[in-house]
Structure 1
Amino acid sequence: MTRTTQRWLAGIVVGTALAVGVPAAPAWADEHADTRTTLEEYNRKAGPGAAVHAGKGTESWTLSSGSASIREDRPITSADHFRIGSQTKTFTAVVVLQLAEEGLVELDAPVEEYLPGVLTMNYDGNEITVRQLLNHTAGLPREPSGAAPEPDGTYELAALVRAAMDDPPVSEPGGSLNYSNVGYMVLGMLIEKSTGRYVGDAITERIIEPLGLTGTSFPAPGQRALPAPYVPGYQGGRLLGMFFWFDATTLVELSRWSSSGAMASTMEDMVRFYRALMDGELVSERMLADMRTTVPIAPGSQAGYGLGLYTLPLSCGGAAWGHDGLLATGHASITMVTDDGRFASVLTNANIVAREPAAADVVDAALCEGES
């Protein structure tokens, strides 16, 4: 299969270290054997624990490997809360497309039309469009370097974007894909300007509440705790066959990522969200077609990025749609759904980009069960 080439936020290792060995695999039943094997292999390279919640139609199942916590031996469940990282981007994109349907935003209009004076210095808001922000072809940097927090330790979207304006462009507007959290912070500002609402409130009122996503939330500035039950997040590394884990669950101020990556959810809710999106519950068929119009993630890659979501080719044929996320809170995740009703969400409790297998391989194994 073709793996996504996107690599999300880098980790920051601080805190009190605890050393534990690689967890032993649980004694599962024989069902879902291929997915189970891939998940176990992934968990050996990922966090203290990893899990997949998958199924088709109204049928679902969950497999867990390792442990949700280094302090107690318990499986990760599909109802556990975690930070979804860049899966937040799909929520942000959906609200922007809803605003476009309402005539408040034009996707191919320049950003300057809606946020005058926001893209300045090394960037021209008259040359960068809303669509280019959504598909990461605006040429903006990945992160806002040198952004300073407010006296209370929180961050303002405008200050984050302003801090990035003296960084050199990574491409011309409309050029190749260059993944940018800054671009989605600009989109957060656009949502706030167009709705008159805090971006978290807009996402809550337009998506979370209508879909009944009771396990999903957008944190207020300064709010770092996850609701119970939750999966603690860890940072750390490997030394002499041992992992040294640092609890990072509340380590970072989430307003630092805001509309690009701050939200919390569960695997159950993330599946519900992406299935509702693909089923036309959140945007029109025309807007969904726009979301699924992709640019290559990398030269020669079969994977493509659309407007807030990407496509993942599957080993059994066809493709799935969704997004992944990695955050310094120590959570890495991915959720993918297919047009015929299959779904898979994968979570590990460390911000480690494991490879061979990667999280996308666990997704592929789950989605391809019985399809070949």
Structure 2
Amino acid sequence: MTKRTRRRLAGLACGALAAVALVAPVAVAHAEDHAATQDVLNRYQQKAGPGAAVHAGRGAEAWTLSSGSASISQNRPITSADHFRIGSQTKTFTAAVVLQLFDEGAVDLDAPIEQYLPGVVTGNYDGTVITVRQLLDHTAGLTRDAAGAKAEADGTYTLAALVGAAMDDAPQGAPGAGHKYSNAGYLVLGMLVEKLTGQSIGGAITDRIITPLGLTGTSFPARGERALSTPFVPGYQGIRVGGFFFWFDATTLVELSTWSSAAAMESTMDDLVKFQRELAGGGVVSAKALAEMRTTVPVAPGAPQGYGLGLFTMPLSCGGQAWGHNGVLPTGHASITMVTDDGRFASAVTNANFIPADPSALDVVDTALCEGE
């Protein structure tokens, strides 16, 4: 995997600042057994947040490595049970519900979104041309983010308000013309789920995925809810002055309803691995629906990586490929979870919304997935 390719995939997340973190690595259990992964994780953490961790394994075997600290107020490792905002990993949950509706015959992936949400995708867009599939694989051409939406009296936002505001923004491209990452498109998909299920998007994800899979560390926040469940990894933003960082806690900085079905959820590395493994193993959608999710478009011209329906594929340095998603949020959390069809898995997180390029989070999970192969 080239550095250029890693940068392209890193850009799939919600967006971030770049900086260098100067935090001493913390030695943890299993480091001596996974020295290559620990080395990459340490170097990644030095360019990421105050702390970073990876939870990986194969089959029933799992191990966790940490570097730096979960908190600037105490020196403790990040664990696989710590909660954090998963950002755009939320998209895989939203897409999985849409594909369940596909399995139930309620959604035709190649039907225009106008068929299900009449009059919603309008303004600078044509909902009679944009399909459900194009919203899922980011080829609809919608603006990246919804801006200028009117808040409710309590300061929260409805999906309808966010999507309505996005319709006034210029398209990134023509429908079907190529991959143009769009959080706004996944807000439209949230409205689609709500229309077809009669539930809120959070309720549908909870009832259809979180509860059946026993993801006890995963939740979709109610509007206005910003706090993470305990134990949690505080998220940070910061600035560099000379050779030092000044961090500030951004954990509850963002009104999460602005991200909703695109990026609002919380989870743990344990749960994210379980979800992705269940999805890959047929425990969430049918084999037919999973094949649709894995039908990809290039993330950029000539790139070997592809983006499917709420999933992207990552070629591994040891051969083969992994499937999953990444996520970054201004709450100060950046994460990624990838799994292979032969039972390997890796989930990584750092507690700042930075996207280092060399090494990247992709390098961390690639090393964890390939170590020993």
Alignment partners' CA distance in 1, 2:240 and 2:175: 40
Judge which range, 166-175 or 204-213, deviates more.
Answer: 166-175
Mapped to 1, the partners of 2:221 and 2:243 lie a distance apart of 37
Change beyond 3 A, Cα 1:4–1:270: farther
> For residues 147 and 81 of structure 1, what CA distance do their matches in structure 2 show?
29
**Using the alignment, how far apart are the partners of 2:252 and 2:326 within structure 1?**
20
Count of equivalent residues: 365
Aligned-pair CA distance for 1:9: 2.7
Question: 2:219 touches 2:266 (CA, 8 Å); kept in 1?
Answer: yes
CA distance, structure 2, for counterparts of residue 346 and residue 159 of structure 1? 33
Look up the SS of the partner of 2:56 in the other structure: strand
* Secondary structure at 1:343 match in 2: strand
Gaps of at least 5 residues in structure 1 are 14-19
Check the 8 A contact 1:248/1:329 in 2, yes or no.
yes
In the alignment, structure 2 segments of 5+ residues that lack a partner are none
Deviation at 1:270, TM superposition (A): 0.1
User: Which residue is equivalent to 1:244?
Assistant: 246
Counterpart of 1:113 in structure 2: which amino acid? Q
CA shift at 1:170, angstroms?
1.2
1:252 maps to a residue whose letter is V
Q: Does 1:139 align with 2:141?
A: yes
Identity over the aligned pairs, expressed in percent? 68
* 1:287 alignment partner, SS class: helix
Residue 27 of structure 2 aligns with which residue? 27
Report if the CA contact (8 A) 2:297-2:307 is conserved.
yes
Q: Over residues 230-266 of structure 1, what are the superposed CA-to-partner deviations in whole Å (9 max), with x where a residue is unaligned?
A: 0000011322111111100001100000000000000
Could you tell me whether the CA contact under 8 Å between 1:21 and 1:241 is conserved in 2?
A: no
- The one-letter amino acid of 1:314's match is L
Residue 8 of structure 2 aligns to a residue whose secondary structure is coil
In structure 2, what is the equivalent of residue 118 of structure 1? 120
CA distance in 1, matches of 2:221, 2:147: 22
Using the size of structure 1 for normalisation, the TM-score is 0.96
Offset of 1:12 from its aligned partner? 8.7
CA–CA distance in structure 1, aligned partners of residues 179 and 292 of structure 2:
16
Whether the aligned pair in 2 keeps the contact of 1:232 and 1:248 (CA below 8 Å) is yes
Q: Over residues 3-62 of structure 1, what are the superposed CA-to-partner deviations in whole Å (9 max), with x where a residue is unaligned?
A: 26142334599xxxxxx9722222354210100000000000000000000000000000
Letter in 1 for 2:363: D
Question: Which piece of structure 1 moves more, 234-243 or 173-182?
Answer: 234-243
Counterpart-to-counterpart distance in 1, 2:357 and 2:173: 28
Moved more, 240-249 or 22-31: 22-31
Q: Deviations over 1:325-350 (max 9, x none)?
A: 00010000000000100000000000
Equivalent residue letter for 1:195: T
- Counterpart in the other structure of 2:6: 3
Asked if 1:367 is matched to 2:369, the reply is: yes
- Per-residue CA deviation, residues 89-143 of structure 1 (Å, 9 max, x unaligned), is 0000000000011111110000000000001111111000000000000010000
Question: Which runs of structure 2 are paired with 1:1-372 in the superposition (5 Å)?
Answer: 1=1, 2-3=5-6, 5-6=8-9, 7=11, 8-10=13-15, 22-28=22-28, 29-371=31-373
With 160-169 and 179-188 compared, the bigger mean Cα shift is at: 160-169
| Structure-2 separation of matches of 1:298 and 1:139 | 14
Query: Cα RMSD (Å) of the superposition?
Result: 1.4
**SS at 2:162 equivalent:** helix
CA deviation map 1:71-106 (0-9, x unaligned): 101000000000000000000000000001111111
Displacement after TM superposition at 1:202 (Å): 0.2
Taking a change above 3 Å as real, the CA distance of residues 11 and 359 of structure 1, as seen in their structure-2 partners, is: closer
Find the aligned partners of 2:42 and 2:32 in 1 and give their Cα distance: 14
Q: 1:153 to 1:11 in 2, by over 3 A?
A: farther
Deviating runs (4+, > 6 A) in structure 1?
none
What secondary structure is seen at the aligned counterpart in 1 of 2:44?
Answer: helix
Instruction: For 2:178 and 2:64, locate their aligned partners in 1 and report how far apart those are by CA, in whole Å.
Output: 37
